[in-house]
A and B are shown apart, each in its own frame.
Chain A
Amino acid sequence: MLLRDRSPAKTAARPALRRHRWYVPLVFVGPVLILQGTFLFTPLVNTFVLSFTDASTVGGGQFVGLDNFATLAGDAGFWAAVGRTFLYMLCTVPVIVTLSTSLAILVNTSLRGSAVIRSLLFSPMVMPLATVAVMFQFVLRSDGLVNQVLGGLHVISRPLPFLSSSNLALVSLMLVTVWKGCALATLISLAALQNVSGELDEAARIDGAGWLRRTWSVTLPQIRGTTVLVGVLTSISVLRIFTEPYVMTGGGPGGSTETIVLYLFEQGVSPGTQAGYASAISLALFVFVLAAAAVTWIVTRGRRA
């Protein structure tokens, strides 16, 4: 069974190398199969099944057809969360992509000491997001760092209500997402930049192209694949945004920072809440994530063709 795909000659040349008993692969893959069967594949299938029932998180549930999806389609709270999450994505993704690419170009230098700068810039990447959010809660308070600095520089006359105003709260959360998200994005972009050959740049330099021109027309096109990848990764992570609103505003004030996952959490996690309805929300989230990936994939293909 195991040597089926090998030609006889090759088998003869390789003595007894891959002759394993039938249970050998099972010993290797078995534990993970059991784990993933329990905690990955079963929940995935169960999410589909539950979304057609009125089950609560404590159990039970009758088949209700498409009722959950019908309710979801008319659920103003859900659509508000969807709109907010997409707004969040629309604002943060371009900023993170632009900022991280610029930072990567900036630190892609062999100036003495720049290696230290690089590791400092990447460090937010490894900090736990929840703790970062707790810290920024203080940074953005009315007597927090940002208000102190802005006030001290006489940019503002009284503290801005970063987290307590429904107009500003979502923007404040975006700031945190950008602060944390830029680190990994910059690292990935920098890795791509370091693989860019210097020859084209050299040729452009000889032709008299200035630094800006060379960066824009020579360097950036060469890392476009990576830039798109950063965009996709960031978009997907922003669709899943939960920690920042949960920790910093709890979805408030007045629901102004409620995101899809926060809404899902509220509908589906406390005992007695609606597992069926939450499953329908989960599937909607999955569709959004797939759509974000597909859109970017199509865009990339179009550009490469």
Chain B
Amino acid sequence: MTVIRTGRRSGPNRREERERVSRGEAVLRWVLMLIAVAVVLGPLLWQVTTALKGPGESTAGFPGSLVPSEPTLDNFVTAFTQIPLARYLLNSGGIAALGVVTNLLLATLTGYALARIPFRGRNVYLAALLATAALPFEVILVSTLLVTRNLGLQDTLVGVVLPQAVSITSIFVMRQAFRGIPDELEEAATIDGAGPVRTFLRIMLPNVKGSLAVITVLGFLDSWDHFIWPLVILSSPEKYPVNVGVQYLSGAFSADQRVISAAALVVIVPPLLVYMLMQRHVFSGLAGGALKG
């Protein structure tokens, strides 16, 4: 997988371009970019101010209402005490942790076999994976529900995790990564007397660290975003992951908008943090992967 770093260019090219941008163009670009950012961030900032508003304050009335007049953190406290937000976060955390571990482990094993172990039926399996990569989950939603229910996994966190325990994308990412390791490296290890397990752990894995990071982060974000499957397989609201829980609360009871806004912000923070910390490494890789198919 080619890694394209957003925003990075070769040195001379970059300098040249910076000189070429006229003052007028720079101003125009900045104005347009700020408009775009306002459209993207506006709804979020409004949620923040709503979440900070006191109970006596109106959430309506432009433009005065955009800034809370009696800011308070009570809504966040209420979100954790009056509604089971902590419980939901715990569920999501558990689902995400399990999902990330299974995805890492299984994608690494399968990707390695597909890249470096010739076995009978490998191409058939590869073709089956490619074919099903385009299959929308919704198509098999009802049948997957039946299978999971028959296994007695309905309304369990394991039932939430297992059907999406490994993503085909992750398998392909790992396959690409292992394919990129030169044969000579493996040969050298063998000649030095390393067994297959040692070779795998000491030579192979350290060489695919970057890809492991990519599928860890993507696995987490993916799991945090899952909605339709947990909604379908879980019947007890106390087992809901956080984004299913928040929509359930906002729909089931006409709850206080300030509290729901606070809860929604709490749900969004973990993936945003991961994104902020990892974007340089991961999303450039994601874009590269998407381009290379």
| A residues whose Cβ falls under 8 Å from a Cβ of B | 1-3, 5, 14-18, 20, 24-29, 31-33, 35-36, 38-44, 46-47, 50, 57, 103, 106-107, 109-111, 114-115, 117-131, 133-139, 143, 145, 148-149, 151-152, 179, 183, 187-188, 190-192, 194-195, 198, 211, 226, 229, 233, 236, 239-240, 242-243, 247, 250, 261, 264-265, 268-269, 275, 278-279, 282-283, 285-286, 289-290, 293
Contacts of A28 in B (CB 8 A): 109-110, 112-113, 117
* Interface contact tally, CB-CB below 8 A: 292
By the criterion CB–CB under 8 Å, are B138 and A57 in contact?
no
Closest to B109 in A: A28
Q: Which listed residue, B17, B62, B112, touches A151 by the CB 8 Å rule?
A: B62
By the criterion CB–CB under 8 Å, are A25 and B113 in contact?
yes
By the criterion CB–CB under 8 Å, are A137 and B136 in contact?
no
With A33-B125, A286-B135 known, 12 other A-B pairs at CB within 8 A are A20-B119, A42-B147, A111-B21, A126-B221, A127-B272, A128-B224, A191-B291, A240-B136, A240-B138, A250-B251, A265-B141, A282-B139
By the criterion CB–CB under 8 Å, are A111 and B30 in contact?
yes
Contacts of B186 in A (CB 8 A): 17
Q: How far is the CA of A5 from the CA of B250 in the complex (A)?
A: 60
- Least Cβ–Cβ distance between A32 and chain B, in angstroms: 5
Contacts of A152 in B (CB 8 A): 62-63
Contacts of B17 in A (CB 8 A): 109-110, 198
By the criterion CB–CB under 8 Å, are B246 and A194 in contact?
no
Q: List 19 A-B contacts (CB under 8 A).
A: A39-B148, A39-B164, A41-B128, A114-B33, A125-B275, A126-B272, A128-B268, A130-B227, A130-B244, A131-B267, A134-B246, A134-B260, A139-B43, A145-B46, A148-B61, A191-B288, A194-B6, A239-B136, A269-B141
Contacts of A17 in B (CB 8 A): 183, 186-187, 190
B127 contacts partner chain A, Cβ-Cβ < 8 Å: no
Q: How far is the CA of A134 from the CA of B251 in the complex (A)?
A: 9
- Least Cβ–Cβ distance between A43 and chain B, in angstroms: 4
B1-29 at interface with A (beta carbon < 8 Å): 4, 6-9, 13-14, 17-18, 21, 25-26, 29
Q: How far is the CA of A229 from the CA of B271 in the complex (A)?
A: 26
By the criterion CB–CB under 8 Å, are B135 and A5 in contact?
no
Q: How far is the CA of A278 from the CA of B30 in the complex (A)?
A: 50
Contacts of A286 in B (CB 8 A): 135-136, 139
7 nearest CB pairs, A to B: A152-B62, A191-B287, A143-B60, A43-B143, A148-B62, A25-B119, A28-B113
Closest to B59 in A: A143
B75 contacts partner chain A, Cβ-Cβ < 8 Å: no
Q: How far is the CA of A38 from the CA of B268 in the complex (A)?
A: 32
The interface bits of chain B over 33-52 (1 if a CB of A lies within 8 angstroms of the residue's CB, else 0) are 10011011111101100100
B237 contacts partner chain A, Cβ-Cβ < 8 Å: no
Contact flag A1-B109 (CB < 8 Å), given A50-B143, A188-B287, A279-B142: no
